[in-house]
Chains A and B, each alone.
Chain A
Amino acid sequence: MSQDVEQYRIGKEPFYQPQGDEVTLYEAAYAARLPVMLKGPTGCGKSRFVEYMAWKLDRPLITVACNEDMTASDLVGRYLLDREGTRWLDGPLTTAARIGAICYLDEIVEARQDTTVVIHPLTDHRRVLPLDKKGEVVAAHPDFQLVISYNPGYQSLMKDLKQSTKQRFAAFDFDYPEPGLEAQIVARETGIDFDTAGRLVKLAGTARNLKGHGLAEGVSTRLVVYAAQLIRRGVAPRAACRTAMARPITDDADIRATLDHAVDAIFA
């Protein structure tokens, strides 16, 4: 079974601004082939970080966005019916294990807990993936690594990882960068001037202060980048902030009014 490995390669260096020593740490973890878990609020750069590391380590990257309807066979693979009878198709996890890619399971808690158990044999000393339906045991390629990410901020009892899953990973904690750094990131990512980027980050900060007081999550760096992109396209800053930063995160009229006021106060 030949796989087009090249399609999973990251061609160009993605922009990633390190916040600390996470790059070195990750390199060490990869050298030891430790599975890695990335935790942090939405839109703070988890996925970007994985992309960047895949590029840096020159490994193919297979990303799976997890969801509630995902079954184990969506990860591992399944038989399909065709004219001749049945045919086996590898799932993304199996593919990654065969070709030695980094397999990135995004938002792993969205998948049901019994689904995530299939990764267990891959994430300990065995490094194998048994395909019970097919009667095959795939030994993982020496370069294979598993990375998962999730957002612990959901605060839902239903959406947590099993202890037996958690305790197979080296964990990296992510958060929104420091304001100065975040402004640099936004300016670098979108090409707007540093002053505007600083104001956008300040506005995001006001929304983040409301986390837990009507907002489940603050404004993510991703939304700040969206706002900056709108501004780059010639949208007036206030309108851009309302569209990209205030409106998406809340339907609560009072919070919206407060954020709108913050927009006015910051972009005078």
Chain B
Amino acid sequence: MSKPVDARKREMHHPQVQAWWREMDCGFTQVADVFEECLYEALTAFSKREMDDYVAAAKTLSRLGRGPEPVLAFLEAWPSVAGAVGTAALEDVMATARALQASPNGHAIAPFLQTLAPVARRLASREQLAFYLDIARELMARTTGSIHGRHATIASPGLPAFFRQAPQLVETLPMAGLQNWVDYGIRHYGDHPQQQEDYFKLALADSRAVLQRERHGTLFADAERRLDLYLRALWRDPQPLIPYSNAYHELRQIVPYYDSLGMRLPDVYDARNGISGLDRYRATLAHMAGHRRWSSPQIADNWSPFQRLAVEFLEDARIDRLLMREYPGLAPVLLALHPKPGEDACDPETTSCLRHRLAMLSRACLDANHGYADPVLNETVAAFHAALADGPSGTAQMAGLALAYVARTRRPSDQLPRIHFDDTVVDYRDDNRQLWAFIEEGDEEEAFDTRKEAREAEEPQGLPPRHYPEWDQASESYRPDWVSLYEALHPAGEAAMIDRLLEKHAALARRLMRLLDLIKPQNKQRIRYQEDGSELDLDVAIRSLIDFRSGVTPDPRINMSHRTSGRSIAVLLLLDLSESLNQKVAGGEQTVLELSQEAVSLLGMAIERLNDPFAIAGFHSNTRHEVRYLHIKGFSERWDDTVKGRLAAAGAGWSTRMGAALRHAGAALAQRQADKRLLLLLTDGEPADIDVRDPGHLHADAKKAVGELAAQGVDTFCLSLDPKADDYVQGIFGRRHLVLDRVEQLPEKLPLLYMALTK
């Protein structure tokens, strides 16, 4: 058939299609090429009126001025979309397309329609699809920029990327999770076009972390301890468990496996066939533990890939059978997870049915009610059961059975390139890499020379960063691993400087010492057998009376008294070392930093005298990627020249990201064995950092951190030098704060505050 240059004049075979094509009035050659085929497919499912709507919608899309892609995508996708969610959804889809067209986001229509079919198939109801469309439209509305504030003029950078990722997203996330994920992206990357696009492309670590948090199913991280206990308790085979992620490999899914380093499991399992994710994990582990217990590697050099496949299937079936014998309760789980291929599901004329036959064989070995009629299969199953009748049999015997079965059922079509995969994958089974041993190396196609690259490991600079979450008050959720905190020892300086400061405050120091002597330790201890005491010790008194009556010299030490001893308290003083410390105190020559050093010196000296476990650390931050936490004094260090040197060298700079520093200090403090753990924060300003525009955010995070610490049994107290602190400090620390209006009083107040707090 000759093709006229004008696509509008294209001849269609079917007169009705021809009428619709005329109705379409479309000039795109590409559309003309596929139009008839698409309509034939639609005709099998749609009524006349639905066909008219379909063509009308296609016509609308072809008139958008967006080229042929939207209409092509729609023509191909719609029959399948309608099959999944019903034709009524057309209205919603077209409304979304119109909304996109009316905004600067017209170029997103094509990706929207291109991925609509897989999305709709997964969502499977009109309501769910409407939810998805709402999310997309909200994303559009909130990320479409404008220059002068009145008209939206800049296209949303993330929207096309979102549509392209949509099939994968709806696959892994429930709708509410998808909404959270999108919302997170908008709020955090709303005004950074490049990063926004990367977020919705799943190219940012952040977006993957949030995706992981929102996804459905049982996460490995949540189940790890149970799985470890499971291996120990039921299989006596504790192995390191290592998760891998399948989320980013659509084409090649990794199968569980084990090697000398441990057992590898997917990072998430959804419930399937009524079996919970946790039980699927357990089934996978049980299968691997079974291999470790009962399988022996076979020399595979002389076997073809088909033969090895057959041996694997039968050996797996043997392992499963033995698992069921060991723990009968596993049987329903394994049978629910094992596919049950229909006997006639595969056509041996056109397709390679080897996998199908083997899957049936495997099913029949496990399931007495398999109902398969094939005589060879039933014979093999009988031989399988006979082999396992007395004892666990062995891999070699299974290999013999499997090879015989393959030889008897071989068909020429097994070599066909089209392989029947449906219902043949048993996903709790591992990849059997431990089952094979090769005498000759390198006769596998995928084996290539292993080049050992001796890469020089880079010497790490300092400790690796610790990651802490940050509370996001807008979404009331944590931003996972948001802040990187680097800890280090504070560089040392001249210790004599601290001594000079102390000399300057000699009078104050003497007064402090007198006060310190008054602080009495807390714990009451009973001292028994006292002649003079505060109370009568009844036990001893009765004993003495009995002795007296029976004529023995009674013990006169019948009183007891109390003594208080031991202060069980651990204190960590956290210093805010941000830039503002360099400011001079109003009406004085000293900077706030110098005053702080004086105060901390006095406090350090005082606490040394009390012998309380006491640590000092400072922090400052330079965006969330670099919060520095500097150790000045450790709990076990004495108040000596090393510590004084570090304190003397303390410098101020950068910003105050309080939450992460509080969390880190609290974690250190929570490990101390003490009745009371006190985190004393000395700061001169509110939490702030240059990468945060909303000051309320870091306030909320600091407040959350204080709450977390309280839950761990760490009391936080804030001494603020900011005269304006009243506005926020109560919000963060509650009543546990003190605002010092006259900063020059700090050296005096800090030790007194400490004593008051710990008395």
Residues of chain B with a CB closer than 8 A to A258's CB = 226, 229-230, 233-234
Between A85, A207, A265, the greatest number of chain B beta carbons within 10 A of the residue's beta carbon is seen for: A265
A255 partner, pick from B229, B234, B279, B329, beta carbons under 8 A:
B229
Cα distance A258–B223 in the bound complex, in angstroms = 11
Tell whether B328 is near chain A: CB-to-CB under 8 Å. Answer: yes
Q: A259 — which chain B residues lie within 8 A by C-beta?
A: 233
Q: Is A257 a contact of B549 with CB atoms below 8 Å? A: no
Grouping DSSP codes into helix (H, G, I), strand (E, B) and loop, the B interface class, with mixed when no group exceeds half, is helix
Known contacts A79-B550, A81-B546, A86-B550, A265 near B328 by CB under 8 Å: yes
A188-210 at interface with B (beta carbon < 8 Å): 206-207, 209-210
Instruction: Determine how close the nearest CB of chain A comes to the CB of B478; give it in whole angstroms.
Output: 22
> Nearest B residue to A210 by beta-carbon distance?
B233
Q: Is the CB of A268 within 8 A of B229?
A: no
Check A262 for interface membership: any CB of B closer than 8 A.
Answer: yes
When distances are taken between beta carbons in the complex, the residues of chain A under 8 Å from B236 are 209
In whole angstroms, what is the CA distance A261 to B547 when docked?
Answer: 61
Decide: A206 near B233, CB < 8 A? Known: A261-B282, A265-B328. Answer: yes
Residues of A within 8 A of B230 (CB): 258, 261
Shortest distance from the beta carbon of B236 to any chain A beta carbon, whole Å: 5
In the bound complex, residues from chain A placing their C-beta under 8 Å from that of B102 are none
Q: Which of A80, A214, A264, A265 contacts B229 (CB 8 A)?
A: A214
Query: Does B411 have its Cβ within 8 Å of any Cβ on chain A?
Result: no
B330's contact among A80, A254, A265, by CB below 8 Å, is which?
Answer: A265
User: What chain A residues lie within 8 Å of B550 (beta carbons)?
Assistant: 79, 85-86, 133
**Cβ-based interface call for A126 (8 A):** no
A172: chain B residues within 8 A (beta carbon) = none
- Complex Cα distance, B333 from A264, in Å, reads 11
Which residues of B, 272-287, contact A by the 8 Å Cβ criterion? 278-279, 282
C-alpha gap A133/B550 in the complex (Å) = 9
* Chain A stretch 236-268: residues in CB contact (< 8 A) with chain B: 254-255, 257-259, 261-262, 264-268
Total of A-B residue pairs, C-beta within 8 Å: 65
Pairs A-B, 10 closest by C-beta atoms = A268-B328, A265-B329, A265-B327, A268-B329, A206-B233, A258-B229, A86-B550, A264-B329, A254-B225, A209-B233
A254 surroundings in chain B (CB, below 8 A): 225-226, 229
A125 proximal to B (CB < 8 A): no
20 more contacts with CB within 8 A, not counting A81-B545, A258-B233, are: A79-B546, A133-B547, A213-B228, A213-B229, A213-B232, A254-B226, A257-B226, A257-B278, A258-B226, A261-B234, A261-B282, A262-B234, A262-B327, A265-B329, A266-B327, A266-B328, A266-B329, A267-B328, A268-B329, A268-B330
Q: Closest A-chain residue to B228, C-beta based? A: A213
Encode A212-252 as 1/0 by CB contact (under 8 A) with B. 01100000000000000000000000000000000000000
Distance (whole angstroms) from the CB of A214 to the closest CB of chain B: 7
Q: List chain A residues, Cβ under 8 A from B282.
A: 261
Are B329 and A267 neighbours in the complex by a CB distance under 8 Å? Answer: yes
A207 x B233 contact (CB < 8 A) = yes
10 CB < 8 A contacts A-B: A79-B546, A81-B545, A85-B549, A213-B228, A254-B226, A257-B226, A258-B234, A264-B329, A266-B328, A267-B328
Q: How far is the CB of B167 from chain A (nearest CB, A)?
A: 34
Q: Mark B229-264, 1 if CB is under 8 A from A, else 0.
A: 110111010000000000000000000000000000
Interface string of B314-338 (1 = CB under 8 A from A): 0000000000000111111000000
Docked CA distance A254–B332 (Å):
23
Please measure, in the bound complex, the distance between the C-alpha atom of A210 and the C-alpha atom of B232, giving whole angstroms: 6
CA distance A142 to B237 in the complex (A): 53
- Give CA–CA (A80, B546) in the complex, Å: 7
Query: In whole angstroms, what is the CA distance A261 to B329 when docked?
Result: 9
CB neighbours (8 Å) of B279 from chain A are 261
In the assembled complex, which residues on chain A have CB atoms less than 8 Å from the CB atom of B229? Answer: 210, 213-214, 254-255, 258
1/0 contact trace for B531-569 toward A, CB 8 Å?
000000000000001110110100000000000000000
B-side interface residues, number (CB < 8 Å) = 24
Q: Which residues of B contact A267 (CB under 8 A)?
A: 328-329
Chain A nearest CB from B226 CB (Å) reads 5
Complex Cα gap A207–B230 (Å): 10
Q: Which residue of A lies closest to B229 (CB)?
A: A258
Interface residues of B in 493-552 (CB under 8 A from A): 545-547, 549-550, 552
Q: B327 to chain A: which residues have CB within 8 Å?
A: 262, 265-266, 268
B233 near A262 with CB under 8 A, answer yes
B residues bordering A, Cβ < 8 Å? Answer: 225-226, 228-230, 232-234, 236, 278-279, 282, 327-332, 545-547, 549-550, 552
Chain B residue with the shortest CB-CB distance to A218: B233
Distance in angstroms from A196 CB to nearest chain B CB is 13
State whether B234 touches A81 (Cβ < 8 A): no
* Distance to closest chain A CB from B340 (angstroms): 20
B549 CB to nearest A CB, Å: 5
- In the complex, residue of chain B having the shortest beta-carbon distance to the beta carbon of A134: B550
In the bound complex, residues from chain A placing their C-beta under 8 Å from that of B225 are 254
For the complex formed, measure the closest distance between the CB of A69 and the CB atoms of chain B, giving whole angstroms: 11
Docked CA distance A133–B548 (Å): 12
Q: Decide: B232 and A209 in contact? CB cutoff 8 A.
A: yes
By a CB distance below 8 angstroms, the chain B residues around A79 are 546, 550
Within 8 A of B (CB), among A161-209: 206-207, 209
Nearest to A207 among chain B residues (CB) is B233
Q: How far is the CA of A255 from the CA of B328 in the complex (A)?
A: 21
A86 touches B233 (CB 8 A): no
Q: Which of B233, B234, B328, B545 has the most CB of A within 10 A?
A: B233
Given known contacts A81-B546, A257-B226, A268 and B233 CB-to-CB distance under 8 angstroms:
no
Q: Interface 1/0s, chain A 123-147, versus B by CB < 8 A?
A: 0000000000100000000000000
Q: Decide: A268 and B332 in contact? CB cutoff 8 A.
A: yes
Q: Does B329 contact A86, Cβ atoms closer than 8 Å?
A: no
In the bound complex, do residue A268 and residue B331 qualify as a contact, i.e. CB atoms below 8 Å apart?
Answer: yes
Give A263 Cβ to nearest chain B Cβ, in Å.
Answer: 8
Taking the closest CB of chain A, its distance from the CB of B198, in whole angstroms, is 38
Chain A residue at minimum C-beta to C-beta distance from B539: A71
Cβ < 8 Å to B, chain A residues 81-128? 81, 85-86
Chain A minimum-CB-distance residue to B286: A265
Q: Is the CB of A133 within 8 A of B552?
A: yes
A215 to chain B, nearest CB (A): 9
Q: How far is the CB of B287 from chain A (nearest CB, A)?
A: 14
Interface core residue of B226, B332, B545 (most chain A CB under 10 Å)? B226
Complex alpha-carbon distance, A170 and B233, angstroms: 34
* B110 → A minimal CB distance (Å): 49
A208: min CB distance to chain B, Å: 9
Q: Which residues of B contact A85 (CB under 8 A)?
A: 549-550
- A81 and B549: CB pair below 8 A? yes
A265 and B327 alpha carbons, distance in the complex (Å): 5
- Docked complex: A31-50 residues within 8 A CB-CB of B: none
Q: How far is it, in angstroms, between the C-alpha of A266 and the C-alpha of B329 when the chains are bound? A: 6
**Distance from A117 Cβ to chain B, minimum over Cβ atoms (Å):** 19
In the complex, the answer to whether B332 meets A265 with C-beta atoms within 8 Å is no
List the B residue with the shortest CB-CB distance to A258: B229
**Chain A residues in 8 Å Cβ range of B330:** 265, 268
User: Which residue of A is nearest B332, CB measured?
Assistant: A268
Point out the residues of chain B lying under 8 angstroms from A78, CB to CB: 546
**Chain B positions within 8 Å of A262 at CB level:** 233-234, 327
Complex CA gap A239/B329 in Å reads 15
When distances are taken between beta carbons in the complex, the residues of chain A under 8 Å from B545 are: 81
Question: Which single residue of chain B is at the shortest CB-CB distance from A80?
Answer: B546
Give the Cβ gap from B224 to chain A, nearest Cβ, in Å.
Answer: 9
Q: State A268–B228 Cα separation when bound (angstroms).
A: 22
Shortest CB–CB separation between residue B543 and chain A, in angstroms?
Answer: 9
How many Å lie between the Cα of A81 and that of B236 in the bound state?
Answer: 60
A267 to B331, CA, bound (A): 11
Residue in chain A with minimal CB distance to B333? A265
Please, which residues of chain A bring their CB within 8 A of the CB of B228?
Answer: 213
Collect the chain A residues with CB atoms within 8 Å of residue B232's CB.
209-210, 213
Once bound together, how far apart are the Cα atoms of A81 and B550, in whole Å?
9
Q: In the complex, A213→B232 CA distance in Å? A: 9
Q: Which residue of A lies closest to B545 (CB)?
A: A81
Query: Interface centre among A78, A79, A81, A261, by most B CB within 10 Å?
Result: A261
